[in-house]
Amino acid sequence: MDMSAARGARERLVVVGGDAAGMSAASQARRMRGPDELEIVAFERGHFTSYSACGIPYWVGGDVEEREQLIARTPEEHRGRGIDLRMRTEVVEIDVAGQRVRARDVDTGAESWASYDKLVLATGARPIRPDMPGADAPGVHGVQSLDDGQALLDTLARTRGRRAVVVGAGYIGVEMAEALINRGYEVTVVNRGSEPMATLDPDMGRLVHEAMEGLGITMVGNAEVTKVLTGEDGWVRAVATEDAEFPADVVVLGIGVRPETSLAAAAGLPLGAHGGLLTDLAMRVRGHENIWAGGDCVEVLDLVSGQERHIALGTHANKHGQVIGTNVGGGYATFPGVVGTAVSKVCDLEIARTGLREKDARRVGLRFETVTIESTSRAGYYPGAAPMTVKMLAERRTGRLLGVQIVGREGAAKRVDIAAVALTAGMTVEQMTALDLGYAPPFSPVWDPVLVAARKAVAKVRAAADGSSGGPAGGPMPTR
Ligand SMILES: Cc1cc2nc3c(=O)[nH]c(=O)nc-3n(C[C@H](O)[C@H](O)[C@H](O)COP(=O)(O)OP(=O)(O)OC[C@H]3O[C@@H](n4cnc5c(N)ncnc54)[C@H](O)[C@@H]3O)c2cc1C
């Protein structure tokens, strides 16, 4: 259906979701095409647009003073750039055949339909909320949105007790543990897995575990939270697992997210195995010529494993938005996929990963060698040199780099970018050893820790090839 013919010459782009992916797409489309060619209507059900959820732990922890510092662009600024942004308005239905969406004013409940020529879905992800008694009690907080961050800060200002429990030890749980330590809380992190940071192999997660305990954080692993206990005033007083109770004046939930695709599912749009929308390389929803999707609501191609994954990261959401806006605006751009790079920190401990973990490689049938090396952030003799551990996976026979994990102090996190580039380029660990990386004593040892790991990986791949009888390659087998 040509909706623009019915409305006059101007095409209409409708965007659902007003944060990283949605407003990047809207802004880029506006750069490509002026208001007389393209009308842009964006719906956001919340109070904020273009905000950095990534900054919430640092705002809660006090490193960032004002909420407004986390807002890249306000609704007024977007409107000033010719985007008809409708705040506190939730899209509740997509009529794909009729090319229109039904929108509801969150405050008044008033509903209306808006037609589109092109539609962008950027609805993000929704936090997993544990289905257990007390999960909604006052004093229990998620940290997905700026409203969540504000509610948590209000609770911290109100509570006199200083005991905090963080449920979940992914990167958000780990960053929130730091925020609460910085606020002077006694922090306990309760985690289902044995080690924090399940995006690392357990041996590297162990290093994070030890460092967090060194910071005074109580780490409880292999523990499932079964209920939140409340006091007579209805407020949280403890978190219970099968075996124990942990007193809490405040609880922060960080147990992961799922793609927010309920609207898309109801409209019959294609979803993948992880519940995210499936798109082509131009970020167009598969099988739908005039619908695009990006950010936390889509699945992305993992270029190392060749499989689709759901990875909720702002860095991807912004790139998706840029690609979508370019294509919607009549240009051409693609998003080829990701290698799975992510960095975070807890106090001065930096944590980085890219590519495949051991279990990812096994799952897709890759045989590999692993090496783990200890090095330092600066030349050993230079003041302030701090330990750094690098783990590297390389494919058997070919020596192709498969993944890198780094845990250490300053400089550990962004060092992983070397490996991210090498993975993207499909380099072998042998090729990596010749990389012309910068060196001076204040920045690294003469052999950068990543190159030390690459050299050791080369030796191991060669030794395995020499020792091989020509039968099936025997990478490390799963431990039982
Ligand atoms: C605490 C925290 C720390 C993080 N740290 C990092 C980090 O360090 N690095 C990193 O890369 N990423 C980080 N992230 C992840 C990053 O914030 C997200 O990946 C990014 O915000 C995704 O952008 P998005 O636009 O896809 O989705 P969102 O930011 O979730 O935005 C989606 C928007 O759509 C709106 N919406 C949803 N459904 C509707 C509807 N039906 N109608 C109208 N509006 C709707 C929502 O209200 C929301 O504003 C962090 C996230 C959190 C929560």
Determine contact, residues 130/227, Cβ cutoff 8 Å. Answer: no
From 54, 128, 229, 282, the catalytic residue: 54
* Residue 92, both tokens: 């509740």
Among protein residues, the one with the nearest Cα to ligand 1's atom 34 is: 17
Across the chain, which distance is largest between two alpha carbons, in Å? 74
What does each C-alpha distance from 34 to 20, 321, 435 come to in angstroms? Answer: 21, 18, 45
* Residue 400, both tokens: 């192709």
Low-confidence stretches of the chain (pLDDT < 50) are 469-480
What per-residue confidence (pLDDT) applies to 466?
Answer: 87
The ligand 1 atom at the shortest distance from the C-alpha of residue 263 is: 41
- Is the backbone of residue 62 left (phi > 0), alpha (psi -120 to 50) or beta? left
What is the distance in A from the centroid of ligand 1 to the CA of 214? 32
Q: Which residues pair with 104 in a beta bridge?
A: 90, 111
What is the distance in A from the centroid of ligand 1 to the CA of 327? 22
What is the distance in A from the centroid of ligand 1 to the CA of 393? 31
Dihedral sign of CA atoms 233, 236, 237, 243 in order: positive
What does each C-alpha distance from 118 to 3, 293, 302, 329 come to in angstroms? Answer: 9, 11, 27, 10
E runs forming strands in 69-217: 84-87, 89-95, 100-105, 111-115, 118-121, 125-127, 140-141, 163-167, 186-190
SS3 277: strand
Among protein residues, the one with the nearest Cα to ligand 1's atom 42 is: 90
pLDDT digits over 222-273, tens only?
999 999 999 999 999 999 999 999 999 999 999 999 999 999 999 999 999 9
* Residue 165, both tokens: 């429990």
**Residue 324 DSSP one-character state:** H
The H-or-E segment that residue 178 falls in is: helix 171-182
Pocket residues: Cβ below 6 A from ligand 1: 16-22, 43-46, 53-54, 56-57, 90-91, 122-125, 143-144, 172, 260, 263, 295-296, 312-315, 317
Dist. CA 364–CA 19, nearest whole Å: 34
Dist. CA 59–CA 151, nearest whole Å: 12
Which amino acid appears at position 453 of this protein? A
Among protein residues, the one with the nearest Cα to ligand 1's atom 37 is: 123
The ligand 1 atom at the shortest distance from the C-alpha of residue 23 is: 25
Is 342-466 a CATH 3.30.465.10 domain? no
What is the distance in A from the centroid of ligand 1 to the CA of 361? 29
pLDDT digits over 312-337, tens only?
999 999 999 999 999 999 999 999 99
Q: Under CATH, what is the fold of the domain 3-126+258-328?
A: FAD/NAD(P)-binding domain (3.50.50)
Dist. CA 338–CA 304, nearest whole Å: 8
Which amino acid appears at position 193 of this protein? G
SS3 257: strand
Whole-model pTM: value is 0.94
What per-residue confidence (pLDDT) applies to 472?
Answer: 39
CATH of domain 129-255: 3.50.50.60
Dist. CA 400–CA 232, nearest whole Å: 60
Q: Which of 313, 339, 346 to mutate to test the pocket of ligand 1 (most atoms within 8 A of CB)?
A: 313
54 is catalytic: yes
What is the distance in A from the centroid of ligand 1 to the CA of 124? 5
What is the distance in A from the centroid of ligand 1 to the CA of 264? 17
Among protein residues, the one with the nearest Cα to ligand 1's atom 18 is: 314
Dist. CA 460–CA 465, nearest whole Å: 9
* Residue 65, both tokens: 């003073």
What does each C-alpha distance from 469 to 353, 362, 399, 422, 473 come to in angstroms? Answer: 33, 21, 17, 30, 9
Task: Name the segment(s) of the chain with CATH classification 3.50.50.60.
Answer: 3-126+258-328, 129-255, 342-466
Dist. CA 478–CA 19, nearest whole Å: 41
Q: Which of 23, 27, 49, 54 to mutate to test the pocket of ligand 1 (most atoms within 8 A of CB)?
A: 54
Dist. CA 253–CA 176, nearest whole Å: 9
Determine contact, residues 304/402, Cβ cutoff 8 Å. Answer: yes
* Residue 153, both tokens: 């800060």
Determine contact, residues 78/69, Cβ cutoff 8 Å. Answer: no
Determine contact, residues 225/209, Cβ cutoff 8 Å. Answer: no
CA-based end-to-end distance of the chain: 57
The b-or-e profile of 308-335 (16+ CB within 10 A means b, else e) is: bbbbbbbebbbbbbbbbbbbbbeeebeb
What per-residue confidence (pLDDT) applies to 3?
Answer: 59
